[in-house]
A and B are shown apart, each in its own frame.
Chain A
Amino acid sequence: MNPVLYDFKRAFIRPATIIALAVFILVGIGLSYLVTISLSMSAGAIYPMFIAKLDVETGEFTVYYVAYDSEANPTTAHVEIKFLFGMAESLEVVGTFTFNAKGYRVFQASLDSDVLGLLSEKPLFLRVASSTPFGFMDMTMMFLPINNKTMSAFSGGIFFSNDKAVGSILAVGIAFLRNSELIITLLSELPSEGFELYYALSSGSGEAGFDEALLAGNVSTGLTVFRINLSELGVNITDTTMVTLYLKDPEGVTYTSKPGLIVRVETGVTQRRITNVVAGSAGIGLFSQFFPIVVLYLAYTLVAKPKGMGALEFLIARPVTRLEIYVTRFLAGVLTATVSTGVFLIALNSSVFLLTGYSIEASNMLILFLGIAGSLIAFYSVCYMVSTILSGGRYLAVSIFLYLFFAMIMDILVFITALLMYGFTPRLGDELFKMQATAYYFNPLGSTRFATYYVSPENFPDVPVVNPYLVVVAGVAWTLVPAVAGWILFRKANLSK
């Protein structure tokens, strides 16, 4: 096997590395739950819709349900529905049901027969509590009689009424505008197949007529979603644009809804929220703070320890040069740091995706990866250089000191300096950040801090200290300078015990 790959394999697949990585992956998965909890704690960022139909004779009911997130994407939801009797001040729960919906769900169950007997006495309400990864919402709607046999409750209804007053069709729906795409979502229970949906856009309070309506497509019972590319139509939607929907049955009878507002949504909002939570969280911080201990140990295992024992001599007597040994083991550590960072971030991102359906934006993932891996590689380079000078216990003492200094002490020194210079004044915050940012250039672990800065700038003061070119130069310098210096020392070093 290529010695680089062999050294990488024994660097990566060793108990310390694997255990540390496993621990941080678990931390990352835990972080993804933290992200989800943080997102779900915010109310009102979701759009649940439902139609519930109850057969008053048998007690059987059907709930058509769907929930959308703030970017008009269907989201998973844990739904609890409660049937309540009584007046608004005192409602008695007579039935509770729960189900999970992955986007659209049709749920069917039955109420107890003794409940049905109460239907004529008091109003019946339906409370629908939706918990999604992006927020929660409670809606309580009263059941309304549809006919002698059926009652219905629904969220924000759209009634399609016939202009000849022949009948009406119940549906619920929302029209979203996302970028230049009009998304019309419709939950409906139709009397037959073959219905078509038309839409017309109007500005102000005026209602657009059917003559101006465009065909959206065929509608069937349950959820139907229409996506219309408005840029192809040359339509510009403003804040006052309304949409009027028309259902046309197979016989050509048209049912019209009232004009409704279009909900504007923005793409990327959820990803940004996720990224901000991730970047500012303990998970990334823990990994970047403590995984350097693993790379410190790798430099000890790959160079300092065998060098101190004299074990490198037998190796160097093989058909290999000192430079190759030096580079091979350096690359093994670099690969380990890179792969570990990749595995950690992939696990984190995968977990976030599985829980929320969203992942961290690719560009931000790349920045975080480069920042964290860059820090680990730079710190490894420093430790690697130390390992060419010192062996055994002395290497450990010096490298642990360096770790403590760069990971913790430097920040404390900066804070103390800022406090002494500026005192507890309003300027302290900004000046402290400036000094910290400047100090990161002189810290091999600084790349991670810069990466979190670029990924979630909202978490930092708006201070023009961080220069992307200097960030790159600092990172490269912290890697190359110790590596080259270490080689200069290693090539003439006495490798005997």
Chain B
Amino acid sequence: MIEVDSVSKFFGRLKALDNVSFKVGNGEIAGYVGLNGAGKTTTIRIAVGVLPPDSGDVFIDGLSITREKKKASERIGWVPELPIFETDFKALDYYVYLAGYYGIPPGEARRMGREALEMLGLGDALNTKLAAYSQGMKKRFALAVSLINDPPNFIFDEVLNGLDPKGIVFFRDLAVKFKKQGKAVLFSSHILSEVEGIADKVVFIHKGKIIGVYTVSEILNMARPSLIIKVDRVEESISILEKYGRVETKGEHVVVSGLNTSPSAVIKELVDSGFNVLEVRSEERSLEDFFFNLIKDKGD
């Protein structure tokens, strides 16, 4: 389990994170969504122990990343958005070097490294310098290293950025596989639709603050098409329309969002109730709209 507990972080005077808290349970994929600069990567860097928080803590399976760094780090894997390695290493040599920090002797590390890198399609580049690796190759290398001790928790930080469709499918399928293995997976992105298909819940962050935690089904419900109706008696129509979704009035119009029935059924109910329906239109709400509305409502 990954538990971010009241984490705050300043960069100079800028408060990058403000009391951020959320959990990712075992066997769960949590999407971590926010605009660029919202604080996703800062949260993740703190969670994997590469950046110290100014307050708060992160617990990996109950182990504090600040006070029990080594033990906590053994239980979490991380694929960064832009993996950066020391350039004068060859891939297999760097794998062996990093494996040393897990207490794995060089001979065994070399064997493990060969197997892992070959499995991830890097078999032909074992003795290539990491500086020559493409972004996709670097992410797979980072994945291979993070899997050295098969940790029960995993964080993918905007891992799909810059990948071709094959790479995108690979990492999405991998996240699902980890979930089935009972691992806790945190999958960050600035595109909600990237996490829609795989996440169980989504944590939204904006300007360093958590603005919402929703299950995917909740999000999808809230992102369903809205019905915009112009009726002769707006206020009286609310009590009828409330049972079909969330209702809000905008002047002469009533907006019903998160419809739980078809638009025609709603109109029939109004007409049967004696209302004059002057105008009806349906408005598609995308996930991004949901996201931006969330930011608008909760963020600013």
Q: B83 in the interface, Cβ–Cβ < 8 Å? A: yes
A315, B98: Cβ atoms closer than 8 Å: yes
* Cβ-based interface call for B170 (8 A): no
A495 near B84 with CB under 8 A, answer no
A495 — nearest CB in chain B belongs to which residue? B50
B80 touches A313 (CB 8 A): yes
Minimal beta-carbon separation of A295 from chain B (angstroms)? 17
Q: Give bound CA distance, A318 to B3, whole Å.
A: 19
Q: Are B84 and A319 in contact (CB under 8 A)?
A: no
Q: Which residues of A contact B80 (CB under 8 A)?
A: 313-314
CB pair B86–A306 under 8 Å, yes or no, is yes
- Is the pair A310, B84 in contact by a Cβ cutoff of 8 Å? yes
Whether the Cβ atoms of A316 and B83 lie closer than 8 Å is: no
- Which of A3, A310, A314, A317 makes the CB contact (< 8 A) with B100? A3
**Sampled A-B contacts (13; CB under 8 Å):** A6-B100, A10-B88, A305-B86, A310-B82, A311-B85, A311-B86, A313-B50, A317-B48, A318-B101, A318-B102, A320-B73, A494-B51, A497-B82
Indicate if A2 sits at the interface (CB-CB under 8 A).
yes
Given known contacts A309-B86, A315-B86, what 13 new A-B pairs fall within 8 Å (CB)? A1-B96, A1-B100, A6-B97, A10-B88, A305-B86, A310-B82, A311-B85, A311-B87, A314-B83, A315-B101, A318-B102, A319-B70, A496-B45
Q: Most chain-A CB neighbours within 10 Å: which of B50, B51, B69, B70?
A: B50
Within 81-114 of B, Cβ neighbours of A (below 8 Å) are at 82-88, 96-98, 100-102, 105-106
Q: Which residue of A is nearest B107, CB measured?
A: A1
Contact with B along A462-497 (1 / 0, CB 8 A): 000000000000000000000000000001101111
Interface residue from A1, A320, A497 paired with B106 (Cβ < 8 Å): A1
Name the one of B96, B97, B101, B105 contacting A319, with C-beta atoms under 8 angstroms.
Answer: B101
Closest B residue to A2 by beta carbon equals B100
Contact (Cβ within 8 A) A319 B50 = no
Cβ 8 A contact of B84, one of A311, A318, A321: A311
**Chain A residues, CB < 8 A from B98:** 315, 318
Beta-carbon contacts under 8 Å, B46-98 to A: 48-52, 69-71, 73-74, 78, 80, 82-88, 96-98
Rank and list the top 6 A-B pairs by shortest CB-CB distance, nearest first.
A318-B101, A319-B73, A313-B50, A310-B84, A319-B70, A317-B48
Asked if A301 is at the interface of the complex by the 8 Å CB criterion, the answer is yes
A319 touches B88 (CB 8 A): no
A305–B88 CA distance with the chains assembled, in angstroms? 11
Q: Known interface pairs A318-B101, A319-B71. Does A497 touch B78 (Cβ–Cβ under 8 Å)?
A: no
Assess the A494–B101 pair: CB atoms within 8 A.
no
Interface range for B: 20 to 34
A7 nearest CB neighbor, chain B only: B97
B51 to chain A, nearest CB (A): 7
Chain A hits for B74, CB < 8 A = 319
Which chain A residues border B102 with CB–CB below 8 Å? Answer: 318-319
Shortest distance between the CB of B48 and any CB in chain A (Å)? 5
Interface string of B175-198 (1 = CB under 8 A from A): 000000000000000000000000
Docked Cα-Cα span, A468 to B78, in Å, equals 52
Residues 313-341 of A, flagged 1 when their CB comes within 8 A of B and 0 if not, give 11111111100000000000000000000
Nearest CB of B to A115, in Å: 71
Complex-state Cα separation, A10 to B90, whole angstroms: 12
Residues of the A chain whose Cβ atoms lie less than 8 Å from the Cβ of B82? 310, 497
Interface extent on A, as a size class? Answer: 20 to 34
CB distance from B71 to the nearest CB of A (A): 7
Residues on A with beta carbons closer than 8 Å to the beta carbon of B145:
314, 318
> A313 and B45 in contact (CB under 8 A), knowing A1-B106, A3-B97, A318-B98?
yes
Rounded to whole angstroms, the CA-CA distance of A316 and B73 in the bound complex is 9
**Docked CA distance A319–B106 (Å):** 17
Whether A316 and B49, one on each chain, are in contact in the complex, defined by CB atoms closer than 8 angstroms, is yes
Given contacts A1-B106, A494-B11, contact A317 B73 (CB under 8 A): yes
State which residues 282-319 of A face B: CB under 8 Å: 301, 305-306, 309-311, 313-319
Which residues of B are found within 8 Å of A496, using beta-carbon distances?
Answer: 45, 50-51
Q: Separation in Å of the B97 CB from the closest CB of chain A?
A: 6
Check B137 for interface membership: any CB of A closer than 8 A. Answer: no
Q: Which residues of A contact B45 (CB under 8 A)?
A: 313, 496
User: Is B231's CB within 8 Å of the partner chain A?
Assistant: no
Those of A171-187 within 8 Å (CB) of chain B = none
Of all chain A residues, the one with the shortest Cβ separation from B130 is A311
- Residue B142 is within 8 A (CB to CB) of chain A in the complex: yes
Query: Which chain B positions have C-beta within 8 A of A309?
Result: 84, 86-87
- Asked if residues B84 and A317 are in contact (CB atoms below 8 Å), the reply is no
- Per the bound structure, the CA–CA distance linking A1 and B110 in Å amounts to 11
A301 to B87, CA, bound (A): 10
Report how far A495 CA is from B51 CA in the complex, Å: 8
Query: Does B52 lie within 8 Å of A492, measured CB to CB?
Result: yes
B70 to chain A, nearest CB (A): 4
CB distance from A65 to the nearest CB of B (A): 57
CA distance A445 to B34 in the complex (A): 52
Q: Which of chain A's residues have a CB closer than 8 A to the CB of B11?
A: 494
Residues on B with C-beta less than 8 A from A317 are 48-50, 73, 78
Tell whether, in the assembled complex, residue A314 and residue B85 are in contact, meaning their CB atoms are under 8 Å apart: yes
- Which residue of chain A is the closest to B146 with respect to CB atoms? A317
Cα distance A319–B100 when bound, in Å?
Answer: 10
Give the residues in chain B near A306, CB-CB below 8 Å. Answer: 86
